Amino acid sequence: MATQTELTASSIEYSLLGLLGERPMHGYELHQELSRKTGLGLIWTVKQAQLYALLAKLESGGLIAAEVLVQGHRPARRVFHLTEEGGAFYKAWVKEPSGRRDFRLGFLAKLYFAQREGPDAAKALLADQRRLCALWLEGMIERRDACGDGNLDGLVYRYRVGQIEAMSVWLDECLAYIEAPSKAIAAV
């Protein structure tokens, strides 16, 4: 069986669990979902061979299972579905804020699924992520201030402070949108 640590390297694996939690799908359907110009397709580009390797990994870890579906004269298809263990992994992942390294991809995927679960799930995730960003910002400001002026270290920390500040502003915009979509759109 898989452990949570084995999956933290790739938020796309968790996203596959999320998609299969919504309904069973065969590999080509999953590939189509990830190839759209909206939703998860904005986050990743996944080649079909890579997708099937990820599905095999999830299946060998016991997080998904496959059933062979015979289709008359057409080739049989393997339809994947989420296992109970896979569902537990997904539910824990989607509620947790993302680390700085995983924010760019992982948090976007989490937000995609959280908003599909409803506004309360999305608001809770955004609030937790905002609190975590505030802690990151506090630490980076301390490091920046300790460096002083006129050195590269100080410039690097200024850059990182700016990144975290931008993340925080964006999270606030997301929360405003979820709370009142028509007002948030009008403000843009």
Total domain count, the chain: 2
Q: In the structure, what pLDDT confidence band is assigned to residue 2 with cuts at 50, 70 and 90?
A: low
User: Do residues 33 and 89 share a domain?
Assistant: yes
The residue segments making up the domain with residue 175 are 119-187
User: Tell me: the pLDDT tens digits for 82-105?
Assistant: 999 999 999 999 999 999 888 989
Q: Are residues 53 and 131 in the same domain?
A: no
Q: What CATH number is associated with residue 17?
A: 1.10.10.10
Residue closest to 10 by CA, chosen among 50, 59, 39, 64: 50
Measured distance CA(114)–CA(127) in Å, rounded: 12
> Which pLDDT does position 76 carry in this prediction?
82
Global confidence as pTM: 0.85
pLDDT tens digit sequence for 104-151:
899 999 999 999 999 999 999 999 999 999 999 999 999 999 987 778
The Cα 9–Cα 172 span in angstroms is 27
Give the pLDDT score at 182: 61
Report the pLDDT value the prediction gives residue 7, as an integer from 0 to 100: 47
Buried b (16+ CB within 10 A) or exposed e, 79-99: bbebbeebbebbeebbeebbe
Angle 145-151-157 from CA coordinates, rounded to 5°: 45
